[in-house]
Amino acid sequence: MSLRRIIKSSNASITCCSSLYIRSNSIPYHHHPIHSLLSTKSQHTPFQSFSFMGLVFGKISVETPKYEVIKSTSEYEIRKYAPCVVAEVTYDPSQFKENKDGGFMVLANYIGALGKPQNTKPEKIAMTAPVITMDSGGGGEKIAMTAPVVTKDGGGEDGKKNKIVTMQFILPALYGKAEEAPKPTDERVVIREEGERKYGVVKFGGVASEEVVKEKVEKLKVSLETDGFKVVGDYLLARYNPPWTIPMFRTNEVMIPVE
């Protein structure tokens, strides 16, 4: 395919994805400046077209968390992550029509990814990857975390499983302390610090479905315990790409806190 045809095809894809995004009931899980990239009113230059193509093919061009690889095997890595500041929101998916990623828009509005930032300055905050979510058991109790993502299943009222979800955006490294980050105007958004932490990590592509994630978690736990590591918490799932990235080019990670 010629370069001209690639650009033309990409522009058509941008318009299509913009329409799908506006009409979709599902919330994307990657905080990307969709309003400028996908606006049907904007004039898409070759540069914008290539940027969109980069997203489609899994290019990660935003800041990601800093870490040190302590051990690397064919099955996993042991990583030590530097302290960071996160913005998070905790909710029951029923508040968003059972959408587990419903908190995305709350956090995207806080950083100004989709318009005027909903913080007191107001100040736009640069996008980062990955987007992190936490599932916890029912009962409405918010679990204090030392890991970015913790997943626990628990029974809710009347024996029903009622998961409470926490979604996090990791803020750029320029915010070294929680008080340095812009204060949210939406009381649902919490800004807090996370200290240094160590994880066993496995990376995988494709769609991070519950079935796939469960399989990865179980296999990783066995590998870690076999090699003498102590699992000290529940797993976390990190997703690096927007939903329109071709599945085979997506980057996901299952991470388990260890000692």
Q: What is the CATH number of the domain that holds 183?
A: 3.20.80.10
Residues 117 and 133 in one domain: yes
Q: What is the crossing angle of helices 3-23 and 46-56, to 10°?
A: 70
Same domain for 94 and 167: yes
In-domain check, residue 20: no
Q: Is residue 208 part of a domain?
A: yes
| Higher-pLDDT residue of 200, 129 | 200
Q: Do 90 and 185 lie in a common domain?
A: yes
Same domain? For 210 and 238 the reply is yes
Range in 57-61, 83-87, 134-138, 154-158 the model is least confident about: 154-158
Domain that holds residue 118: 83-138+163-195
Measured CA to CA, the distance from residue 17 to residue 198 in angstroms comes to: 38
Average pLDDT estimate for 135-159: 37
In order of 129, 173, 196, the CA distances from 66 in angstroms are 11, 9, 11
pLDDT digits (tens, 9 = 90+) for 7-57: 444 444 434 443 333 233 333 444 443 333 343 344 444 434 444 444 555
pLDDT tens profile 49-84: 444 444 555 567 789 999 999 999 999 999 999 999
Per residue in 89-114, pLDDT (tens digit) is 999 988 888 888 888 899 999 999 88
Q: How confident is the model at residue 160 (pLDDT cuts 50, 70, 90)?
A: very low
Residue 43 domain-assigned (yes or no)? no
Q: What confidence score (pLDDT) does residue 161 get?
A: 53
Q: Is residue 123 part of a domain?
A: yes
Q: Tell me the pLDDT tens digit for each residue of 232-244.
A: 988 888 998 877 7
Same domain, 88 and 189: yes
Q: How many domains does the chain have?
A: 2
pTM: 0.69
Q: Domain check: are 186 and 225 in the same one?
A: no
| Residue 62, pLDDT score | 84
| Higher pLDDT among residues 117 and 40, named by residue | 117
Q: Which tokens belong to 199?
A: 């994880």
> How many CA atoms does the CB half-sphere of 63 hold within 13 Å?
14
Residue 136's pLDDT is what?
Answer: 66
Does residue 77 belong to any structural domain of this protein?
Answer: yes
* Same domain? 110 vs 167: yes
- Pair 191, 221 in one domain: no
- For residues 181 and 171, the answer to whether their CB atoms sit within 8 Å is yes
Assess whether 124 and 187 both reside in one domain. yes
Q: What does the pLDDT read at residue 198?
A: 97
Question: Do the domain assignments include residue 44?
Answer: no
Instruction: Average the pLDDT over 137-156 and give the result.
Output: 33
Distances in Å between the Cα of 68 and the Cα atoms of 72, 80, 146 are 11, 5, 18
Q: What is the pLDDT of residue 89?
A: 93
